[in-house]
Structure 1
Amino acid sequence: MASPIKSYVPYSIFLIALLLRPSSLTTAADFSSSVCSGTLDPSRCFQVIKTIPGGGQAPSLESLCGTAISFSLSKGNQFHSYVQSLAASASNPKLKQVYSSCAENYDDFIGNLQSAQVMLKRQDYNGVSTMASSSMTEVDTCSDSFKEGSVADPSQLIDKNKYYYTLSLIILRISNKLGGAA
């Protein structure tokens, strides 16, 4: 007669293996929480992540990253056009220069995200992180140009930059997680 302990060993091993494997029940809310919890302003991060179409139904972090990059590219192209129109219509020479500089920053923002998109397809998560970080720098540089130019921002561009900064931050956080960073 077999020992009762020996008959439970295969079942125990199966249960342990089942519990240790990555959960397929991870939800988009779990992804959002994981991405936003380590940021300086989690509530802003949650607000921005909710604006990403399909982000709430992403089946994986990689899918969420791809969606966030595509969405950021689309919004970034629209915003780049807006900033170019501000530069074209500004009558104040200092303001015109600042807006022109910001248009260049958003051109680079878009280029960084295009590179990130290619890197994500190659599963180069460190490269995606680098490009997302560079996009954040471009947005910061645009905001800083108002201070450096000692000019007021009648368009509220600095406030709008916060949205694009947070989109880039979300991509950075997701790609860091995909690459194994916390």
Structure 2
Amino acid sequence: MASVSSFFFLLPLVLSLNLHLNPSEARAVNLIARTCNHSVFRNLCISTLRSDPNSAKTNLTGLASISIRQTMASAVNISSQITNLLNTTMDDPNIQQCLSDCSQSYIDAIDQLIDSVASLDNKSYSDVNKALSAAMDDALLCQEGFSVDATNPSLLRDSTNKFTQLCSNALSITNLLAGSAT
């Protein structure tokens, strides 16, 4: 009985939410949902794409571009975080070395992401995937540097995890594009 009353309570709410969307917003929400259903990190995919105002009026290629650019923004933020950590006085030379290595890894990741945008523009989806995978590998390489010495937990673990999830989402979108191009 409680489930029936819950249904009748929620039904008007759901219907009213759908009535407030214009047709293009509804299509965008639907495209984002369908696209992100193919992603391992679905919630992050949806929130990332919806956070960009251009996602309401784009197609699958546009969503791929948004995803890659958001991933690049994350890499730039992490690179800045590393620079800030390097500029603070840290007594541990191992952590300094890890951060220095991570700095280079994220510079390489940003370069890969720039290449992936160019490849996307050229519809060279296999090159996009190679560049995205390389960017993800760069971040994982950074993370590995901290795991060599168990006494040094990664200062960047959460940021790196989110970055690799963004890369994974961008890869899943690009794979959809590659599949629709054949």
Cα pair distance change 1:128/1:100, threshold 3 Å: same
Offset at 1:58?
A: 4.6
Kept after mapping to 1: 8 A contact 2:112/2:131: yes
Residue 159 (structure 1) aligns with: 158
**Higher normalized contact order (CA 8 Å, seq sep 6+, divided by chain length):** 2
Residue 109 (structure 1) aligns with: 109
The 1:56/1:118 distance shift into structure 2, 3 A limit, reads: closer
> Shift of residue 115 of structure 1?
0.3
What TM-score does the superposition give when structure 1 sets the normalisation length? 0.73
- Code of the residue aligned with 2:69 in structure 1: it is S
Q: How many residues align?
A: 156
Local SS of the residue matching 1:150: coil
Compute the displacement of 1:56 (Å): 4.0
Q: Which amino acid aligns with 2:161?
A: K
Structure label with greater radius of gyration: 1
Report 1:27-38 matches (<5 A): 27-38=27-38
Any gaps of 5 or more consecutive residues in structure 1?
A: 1-23
- The equivalent of 2:68 in structure 1 is 69
Q: Does the 8 A contact of 1:125 with 1:176 survive in 2? A: yes
Q: Identity over the aligned pairs, expressed in percent?
A: 21
**What SS class does the counterpart of residue 91 from structure 1 fall into?**
coil
C-alpha RMSD over aligned residues: 2.5
Q: Which amino acid is 1:165 matched to?
A: T
SS at match of 1:115: helix
Q: Provide the rounded CA distance (Å) in 2 between the counterparts of 1:66 and 1:38.
A: 16
Richer in helix (by share): 2
Match of 1:141 in 2: 141
Shift of 1:160: 1.2
Give unmatched runs, 5+ long, in structure 2. 1-23
